[in-house]
Structure 1
Amino acid sequence: MRSNFKLLKKHRRYSDEFKRQIVADYESGEFSVRQLERLHGVSDQSIYNWIYKFSTFNEKGFRVVEMKDSSSKKLQELEAKNKELEAALGRKQIQLDYLEKMIELAKSELDIDIKKNYSTPQSTGSGNTKKK
């Protein structure tokens, strides 16, 4: 004899504080609904419901619609910005390596010590210093 069991759906309950934080992240423009969905494992419909309920910008009678293309476009823009910053960092590292090499050459070939010498004794003021 088989008994019929209803499939139990697991319902998660989220605190109002968590919901408000999700809405605040969305309103700040830091995350899209799709990104919040992936990040927190919450359905997009739940997030939209929270936006309708808790948003300070949403007026009654208006519907929030986010185009999927806009979030992918935002992601592409961020990736392009990341590449640009990595290229700038690479250029700065090359400049740093060049300057360090020039300092090294000045010391070895011209006997000029450009780097600060940390082994010199500190000054005690305007009094006479002892010479070693």
Structure 2
Amino acid sequence: MIRLAAAFLLLAAPASAQSIAFAQAVEQSDGMAVADTADAAIAEARAQCVEGGAMEQDCLIVACDHAGYSIDVFVQHQAGNHWHETFCGLPDEDVARAVGETLCDTSLRPYIMECMLTQIWDWNGNPIIEY
């Protein structure tokens, strides 16, 4: 039975697993990259962040070895400061949207003035939300 469950999990994963990384220097720059390995994705995302004008040490990294679906959520505190929260490795678009909704739920985070799911990326790093 365990082998059967493991086989179904493998079928749910993409044929070629991609890694994804996000780099963010608050109020300065950011970067996003998809690569064959997490290390390569991190290096590229960090390089984009630095190229945008940030110092390397200011580029905070979020990465997943198996990209899954990823999201970017804009959050603004009642005091006025704002930031982006990125999450990766989510199993599908529905879960990605549900995570974004939950993160923006003011009954769970009453200090939030504004919150919005700004982007969803698929397994290959393709954006889903069009503007």
Q: Give the TM-score of the pair, scaled to structure 2.
A: 0.20
Which structure shows the higher helix fraction?
Answer: 1
Which structure shows the higher strand fraction?
Answer: 2
Q: Give the TM-score of the pair, scaled to structure 1.
A: 0.20
Query: Which structure has the larger Rg?
Result: 1
